[in-house]
Amino acid sequence: MLGVRPGILEGSANLPDTDMAKSHGSGTPDTSKLARLGKDVVIEAGVLIFHPENIEIGDDVYIGHNTILKGYYKNKMVIGNGVWIGQQCFFHSAGGIKIGRNVGIGPAVKIITSHHDGEDTSKPILHTPIVFRAVVIEDDVDIGTSAVILPGVTVGRGAQVGAGAVVCEDVEPYAIVGGVPARVIRGRRT
Ligand SMILES: CC(C)(COP(=O)(O)OP(=O)(O)OC[C@H]1O[C@@H](n2cnc3c(N)ncnc32)[C@H](O)[C@@H]1OP(=O)(O)O)[C@@H](O)C(=O)NCCC(=O)NCCS
């Protein structure tokens, strides 16, 4: 495409003069740059990894095809031992992500850890300050396909998140939640 730098879409030419319209790079995994790479890790074809220096991957981890681990220049993404991550997930660790041990994450799950505060209405929301809030997924959690985990949420140990849930609040240990916004369906122990 004539006149278009790699990583810049033609339609972004009208953006205000900021430095955001620049490529983040290819994301082609360079496992030698990860902060930690455990034993027996499977990284399938099409996985993209950004800021590997801020990403720790434990032992016996599976990362499905076309998942994107979007590390950030600060904060960490920590993936514990025995975690299974399905295809086409998107984890953005701007605010930090901690995933415990033996967590199952279905295909197309998204974990988001930042948002724009939008307080100054004289600007596009996109140009207002970013708020960073970590997400914690405790041990033995199971997250259904296409669920979205929003900034600041802790999903308690052994909880189950239903397919398609949008999780805005903390989830109690061993709860089953589902829906938009996610609400408790029942407890696994009650
Ligand atoms: C949430 C889930 C675990 C609940 O399973 P369950 O305990 O067998 O639940 P039930 O089918 O008995 O349904 C219980 C209630 O929850 C509702 N419900 C079930 N799944 C739901 C979901 N994903 N979102 C919203 N509500 C849901 C049902 O409609 C039912 O409501 P009702 O009592 O008003 O009729 C399951 O439905 C689910 O979403 N699993 C995710 C599967 C998945 O994505 N796997 C990934 C494979 S890699």
Distance CA 96, CA 75 (A): 5
Mean per-residue pLDDT over the chain, rounded:
92
User: What pLDDT shows up at residue 11?
Assistant: 38
Find, among 172, 140, 168, the residue nearest to 156 by Cα.
Answer: 172
Ligand 1 centroid, distance to 106 Cα (angstroms)? 14
Domain annotation covers residue 61 = yes
Q: Which domain, by its residues, includes 122?
A: 35-187
Mark whether 65 is an active-site residue.
no
Ligand 1 centroid to Cα of residue 146, in Å, is: 13
Give the pLDDT of residue 17.
57
Cβ of residue 178 lying under 6 Å from some atom of ligand 1: yes
Distance from residue 144's CA to the centre of ligand 1 (Å): 9
Q: What is the pTM assigned to this prediction?
A: 0.92
Q: Which of 11-15, 60-64, 174-178 has the lowest mean pLDDT?
A: 11-15
Q: Which residue has the tokens 């396909």?
A: 145
Q: Is residue 27 part of a domain?
A: no
How many domains in the chain?
1
Determine the Cα–Cα distance for residues 125 and 102; give it in Å rounded to an integer. 37
- Domain annotation covers residue 52: yes
Ligand 1 and 86: CB distance under 6 A = yes
According to the model, what pLDDT value does residue 19 have? 74
State the virtual CA torsion across 41, 160, 141, 49 in degrees, nearest 10: 40
DSSP string, 153-168: -EEPTT-EE-TT-EE-
Name which of 171, 176, 173, 172 is nearest 187 in CA terms.
176
Instruction: Provide the CATH number for the domain around residue 152.
Output: 2.160.10.10
Q: Tens digits of per-residue pLDDT, 42-81? A: 999 999 999 999 999 999 999 999 999 999 999 999 999 9
Q: Residue 1 pLDDT > 70, yes or no?
A: no
> Which residues are bridge partners to 150 per DSSP?
none
For the segment 98-119, the average pLDDT, to the nearest whole number, is 98
Among 185, 186, 188, 189, the mutation site with the greatest number of ligand 1 atoms within 8 A of its Cβ is 185
- Comparing 101 with 7, the larger pLDDT belongs to 101
Residue 133 pLDDT: 98
Residue 121 has a CB neighbour count (10 Å cut-off) of: 8
| Ligand 1 contact via 64 beta carbon (within 6 Å) | no
Instruction: Tell me if 4 is assigned to some domain.
Output: no
Position 189 scores a pLDDT of 87
